[in-house]
Amino acid sequence: MIKVNGRDFPWEEGLTVTKLLEKKNYTFPSIVIKINDKTISEDQWEIMAIEDGDDVKAIHLITGG
């Protein structure tokens, strides 16, 4: 189990940032990703592995309609 934005989310072997975003259907173009408080730049998303127990933040930079 990992945390995504403070809420539980199932972990699986081989989970990367890109895969997580796909699973959550997070399609918004401006998202800041932090794993255990460390910002992960977008060019790392494909390869950056998420470990079991990680605290992931996917902060959408959208504040309005």
Partner 1 sequence: MNYNLKENHKLLTEFQYQPSKADKGYTNKSLYVNLSDNKIKEKEVTEMIKEKFIGGRGFGLWYLWNAVTPNTKWNDPENEIIISPGPVAGITQYPGSGKSLVVTLSPNTGTVVDSNVGGYFGPLLKFSGFDALEVQGKAENDVVVFIDGNKGIVTIEEAPEEAVDSHILAEQLTEIYSESEEDKKNISVVSAGTAAEHTTFGMLNFSFYDVRRKAVRLKQAGRGGIGTVLRDKKIKAVVVRFKGVKGDSNNPADFEKIAKTGVKLHKEICRLDDSQNRMRHNGTTFLAGIMNDYNLLPTENFRFGSHPDGKLLTAKEWIKYFDYNGKADGCWYGCTLGCAKVVCDFELTSGPYQGQKVVVDGPEYETIAAVGSNLGIFDKEYILEVNFYCDTYGIDTISFGTTTAFLMECYQNGIINKETTGGLELTFGNKEVALKLLHQMAKGEGFGKIAGLGIRKQKELFVKEYAADAEFLNDIGMECKGLEYAEYVSKESLVQQGGFGLANKGPQHDEAWLIFMDQVNNQLPTFEDKAEALHYFPMFRTWLGLVGMCKLVWNDIVPESNKDNEEPAKITEHVQNYVDLYNAVTGNNIDINGMLDQSEGVYQFQRVFNLRMGYGTREYDQVPYRSMGPVTLAEYQSLQEQYDAQLKELLGVEPEGKSSEEKMKLLRQYREGQYHKITDAVYERRGWTRNGIPTLETLKKFGMDFPELVEQVEKHQ
At 15, the amino acid letter reads L
Is residue 59 a contact point for partner 1 (CB under 8 A)? yes
User: Rg of the chain's alpha carbons, rounded to an integer?
Assistant: 11
Asked if 38 interacts with partner 1 (CB under 8 A), we say: no
Q: Which of 31, 6, 62, 8 is nearest to 17 (CA)?
A: 31
Does residue 14 touch partner 1 according to CB under 8 A? Answer: no
> Which of 12, 22, 23, 28 is in the footprint of partner 1 by CB under 8 A?
28
Rule CB under 8 A: is residue 64 a binding residue for partner 1?
yes
Least spacing, CB of residue 15 vs partner 1, in Å: 19
- In degrees, rounded to 5, the angle at the alpha carbon of residue 8 between the alpha carbons of residues 2 and 15 is 35
